[in-house]
Amino acid sequence: MSYNVTSETTLEYLKSRSGRLTIFQTVVSLTAFIVMVTEEGHHPGAFKFFATVAFFSFLFSLCLMVAHFTGWRKSMTSFPWLLAQVIVEFAMIGLFFISSTVVASKAVRAHAGSAATMGFFLMGSYCRSLYTDFKLYRSENSTYDEQQNQAPEYPATGQQGPGMPPPQYQPPTTPSTYQTPIDTKSSAAIP
């Protein structure tokens, strides 16, 4: 299966909400990384942690954009793209929350404060991405589950669903087949 990448598919992704959000995440995470690397503070551990989280956010967003622009996402249907995105976005929310909070609490100069602010904005953008991607993931899986669990239609009766008789079963037409056996040993009279 081949997928032709044209300028129209690239523009469609750029115009979509998720495309604009990915571009925002790429630019802001790179900016936050640069701002944090240039900061010389008294808390190098917290600043390095934030810089690492921002750098991995930049790499994730960049890889996601490349996958859309080159058509890898459409051509690799066996890879669970949405599930991977949901997991990484959930991790990024937690990492940005922790790292931004730590950097904001230890910020003495404006560099660290602005990086923490960008981290909180990135956390919010990942929350939005997680919300939309999780909804899309749930809708795709519920459609798949509905197709798998759909009850077969039985042509003999025209009815469908679990608990219905198999197609070769023909219901009895006369009430005589429903007669109960008579108990001959009973002394009671049968009316």
- pLDDT tens readout for residues 17-66: 888 999 999 999 999 999 988 877 666 788 889 999 999 999 999 998 88
Structure token pair of residue 127: 């929350």
pLDDT at 123 over 70: yes
The position carrying tokens 């929310």 is 93
The position carrying tokens 């992704």 is 13
pLDDT at 97 over 90: yes
pTM: 0.67
Per-residue pLDDT, 75: 81
Alpha-carbon span 99 to 85, nearest angstrom:
20
Q: What is the mean pLDDT of residues 153-182?
A: 58
* Report for 4-13, 101-110, 143-152: range of highest mean pLDDT: 101-110
Alpha-carbon span 21 to 125, nearest angstrom:
7
Measure Cα distances from 173 to 168, 170, 177, 178 in Å.
15, 9, 8, 10
Break the chain into its structural domains and give their ranges.
8-148
Burial (CB < 10 A; 0-12, 13-18, 19+), residue 9, is middle
- Contact yes or no for 79/126 (Cβ under 8 A): no
